[in-house]
Structure 1
Amino acid sequence: MRYAGIAWTDAGYRVEVLDGAGRRVVEPSSWGAAQVSELIAWLVELAQEHPLAAVLDSTNGLLDGPMTAAGLAVCRADPWLLPPRPRFGSVPAHRLAEQALRTPGELARVTAEGGTLTGRAEEYFEGVRRSEPIQAALTAAGRCFEHGRRDTPQVALTFDDGPDPVYTRRILETLDRYGVRATFFCVGHHVAALPDEVRRIVAAGHEVGNHSWSHPFLPDLTPDQLREQIDRTGEAVARVTGEAPTWFRPPYGALTPEVLATLEGHPTTMTMWDVDSRDWSRPGPERIAATVLESAGPGSVVLLHEGAGDRGQTVRALPTIIEGLLERGLEPVTVGELSAAPSDRTESSRQPAPAERP
C-alpha cells in the first residue's frame, strides 16, 4: 500500500507519496486550491498503478467528498496520533504519510456515507448535547440563528462549501430563473482560489456567509486556530466583495462548550439550520427534494451544498425544491432577510436596501 499525505496551506495543498518502505514514490508536489480536480485525477492515476490511500487530518474537510466520489481510498489521521498543528495549516504532508505507515490500523477509513467524521459520530453528538444550554442562551441573546419566525411565510435556502467552478454557476442560474435569493456559506480556501465565483454570487443579489477556511472539525482546533479560520475567511471575502460576512456557520454544525466560548467572543453571528437536506450523502435528487419539502415550513433555514464534492444531485433537485416551496406560499430569501424583525422588513420595503445587514 502507498500513502499520499495531503496537507492544506493558505495557498492550496502539499502532497507527499510514500511506499510501504517509507520511500518517496514521486517528488513532493504542490497544488492550488483551484486544482482539486487535477489533483484527484493524478491520485487516481497513481492508484491504478499500485493500491493507494489518501491521508488527511481532521482540519481538512474539503477533499474527502470529491475523493471518495472518484473511488479513492481516504483515511483520516486524528489529532491524538499527530504532532501539534501550526496556528494556520495542517500537519505536514510527509508526517501524515509517515503516520499511516506506522499505524495504519489506527487511521479512520472515511466513507461516502459517514463523511469526514466517519467513526467520530458519538463524539460529535455528545459535543452537541453538552452545548445545548449554551446555544440556547446565545440564541436568546441574538448571537445564534437557527430559524426565523414560524408565522413568516419565508424560507432561507443556504448553500455550503463553495464556491465551486461548476456547481455554483448552475445553482445561480436556477435561482435566477425563479427570481429567488439565497445565502452561500463559503470556505476561505475556495474564496481565495475562485474570487470571480464569489463576485457572481454577490452580483446576482445573494448573500455570502463565512464557513471557515478549510472546513475543519472545530472541536479539534485551539481557540486561536478557530479564530484564525474565521478571520482569514472574513478577510478573503472582504477583499473580493468589500464587506466581511456577519454570518458564520460551523462546519458540520460541530459544537462543544469550548467552541461556543470562542464563538461567543467573535463578532459574527452563528448560523445553524432546522432542515438538513442530507444532499452530501448523494441519495438522489428526488430524495433530496422530498427531504426538504417534507420538513420545511415558515421560517425554516435549509441546509444544501454547492462545493467540496459532486453536487450534481443538488443542482437537479433545486427546481423541485423551489417550486414546492412557492406552491406552499413560502418565499425563498436570504438568512439576513429571514432574521430581520417584521418591522424591519416592512421598513426596508419602503426604503433602499441598507448598506449593511441588520
Structure 2
Amino acid sequence: MLYAGIAWTAEGYEVEVLDAEGNRAVEPARWGADRVPELTRWLGETERGAGRPCAVVVESTNGLVDGLLTAAGLDVHRADPWLLPDRPAFGSVSARVLAERARTGLAALSPLTAEGGGQTGRDEDYHTGIRRSEDVEAAMTRAGRCFRHGRRDRPEVALTFDDGPDPVFTRQVLEILERYDVRATFFCVGLHVSALPDEVRRIRDAGHSFGNHTWSHPFLPDLTAAQFRLQIERTGDAFERAVGERPRVFRPPYGSRTPETLGELRTEGPAVALWDVDSWDWARQGPGKITRTVLDHTAPGSMILMHDGGGDRRQTVQALPGILENLLARGLTFVPATHLCPTDL
C-alpha cells in the first residue's frame, strides 16, 4: 500500500508519497492552489502506476482538496490534531509527517466521505462548539455583527457561493448568473484568491460581491485564536491585492465556530454571515435534489448556501438555472449578503 500526505502552505500544497517501508515511492511534489485537479490526477496515476491502493491523508485545517479527491474515487483520510505534532502558526504539519502517520496508524485516521465532507466524524466536536458559542453569537446578533438571514417582510434573498474561485466552475456559475441578470456573493478562500486573482477580478467586474471564507477552509475548533486571526487577515490581504478592498462579511467553514474564534470578530473585522438555506450541493445528491432543497426552504430574507469551488461542482451548475427561474418567478430580488445584515456595513 502507498501513503500520501498533503500539506498546505501559503503558496499551495506539498505532497509526499511513502511505501509500506517508509521509503519515498515517488519524488515529493508541489502544486499551486490553482492546480488541485492536476494534483488529483497525479495521485490517481501514481496509484495505478504502482499497482497498489493509496491512502491519501490531509489534516483538519485543510478543507479544500478532499472534495475533488473523493469525487475521483481516492481513499481520503483526515488526521486530527491530537494525532499530530504542533503545526506552525500558518500552514499545516509537513506532508512527510502526514504520510508517515498514515503508514504507522491508518486505522486511527478518519475516512472522509462525500456526504460528511472534511468534518466527517467530527459531529460531536462541531455541535459542542456551536453550543459553547451561543452566548457570544447571540450578543453579536443583537449588535448586528452576526446574521443568518434578512428581514422576512422584504421580497429579497442573497445567493452565496463558497470555496472558490475555481477556474472551471466559477466561470460556469458566472455565465448562468449573467444570463438571468442575478447578482450573488462569493465567499472565497485565501489560497484560491492568491492563486487566481484574475478570477476574483472577473467576479468583481460582473457586479458580484465578496466574503472572507478563511485561507485554507479549516475546522475552526482546531485553531487557536491567533491561528484563526491569521487566516482572516491573510485572506483579507489577498483580496486587497487582487481587487483593492477587503470583504465586509465572513463565513466560517462548515459553519463551525467557537467562542474564541467568534470573539476575534466581536467588535471589529468582517461581520459573520451564516445562512438559513443549505442546498447540500456539497454532498452531490443530484441536481434535482439540490433544486428541490433550495426551493422548499427559501423564503423572503433567506441566505442561500451553494458552492462554486472546493470540489466537483457540476451538479451545482446543473441545478442553478432551475433555482433562479423559480425564485425569480416568485418575485424575489437577489441582493448582496451585506444587504441582509441588520446594520450598515
TM-score class, shorter-chain normalisation, is over 0.9
1:266-293 deviation digits (Å, cap 9, x = unpaired): 4111110000000000111111011011
Tell me which residue corresponds to 2:113: 111
Shift of 1:258: 2.1
Shift of 1:259: 2.0
Tell me which residue corresponds to 2:40: 40
2:184 matches 1:182 = yes
Counterpart mapping for 1:129-278 below 5 A? 129-278=131-280
Q: Which amino acid aligns with 1:237?
A: F
Q: TM-score, normalised by structure 1?
A: 0.94
Shift of 1:53: 1.0
Whole-angstrom CA distance in 2 between matches of 1:75 and 1:150: 41
Root mean square deviation of aligned Cα: 1.2
Residues 167, 307 of structure 1: 8 Å contact kept: yes
Q: TM-score, normalised by structure 2?
A: 0.97
Tell me which residue corresponds to 1:312: 314
Whole-angstrom CA distance in 1 between matches of 2:23 and 2:129: 40
3-state secondary structure, aligned to 2:187: strand
Tell me which residue corresponds to 2:326: 324
Whole-angstrom CA distance in 1 between matches of 2:89 and 2:229: 10
Moved over 3 A (4+): none
Shift of 1:328: 1.1
Q: Which amino acid aligns with 1:329?
A: G
1:25-77 deviation digits (Å, cap 9, x = unpaired): 11111111111111110100112221101110000000000000000000111
3-state secondary structure, aligned to 1:313: helix
Whole-angstrom CA distance in 1 between matches of 2:39 and 2:241: 27
Whole-angstrom CA distance in 1 between matches of 2:241 and 2:342: 26
Shift of 1:339: 2.8
Whole-angstrom CA distance in 2 between matches of 1:81 and 1:327: 52
Whole-angstrom CA distance in 2 between matches of 1:73 and 1:127: 28
Residues 189, 216 of structure 2: 8 Å contact kept: yes
1:277-319 deviation digits (Å, cap 9, x = unpaired): 0000011111101101100001000000000111011111111
Residues 322, 332 of structure 1: 8 Å contact kept: no
Whole-angstrom CA distance in 2 between matches of 1:143 and 1:189: 25
Runs of 5+ consecutive residues of structure 1 not aligned to the other structure: 342-356
Match of residue 297, structure 1, among 296, 299, 316: 299
1:178-228 deviation digits (Å, cap 9, x = unpaired): 111000000000011111110010001100110000000011011111000
Whole-angstrom CA distance in 2 between matches of 1:297 and 1:15: 44
Whole-angstrom CA distance in 1 between matches of 2:317 and 2:26: 37
The verdict on how the C-alpha distance between 1:264 and 1:76 changes in structure 2, with shifts beyond 3 A counting, is same
Residues 290, 316 of structure 2: 8 Å contact kept: yes
3-state secondary structure, aligned to 1:34: helix
Tell me which residue corresponds to 1:3: 3
Tell me which residue corresponds to 1:347: none
Tell me which residue corresponds to 1:84: 86
Identity across the alignment (%): 61
Whole-angstrom CA distance in 2 between matches of 1:301 and 1:104: 39
3-state secondary structure, aligned to 1:255: coil
Whole-angstrom CA distance in 2 between matches of 1:338 and 1:81: 41
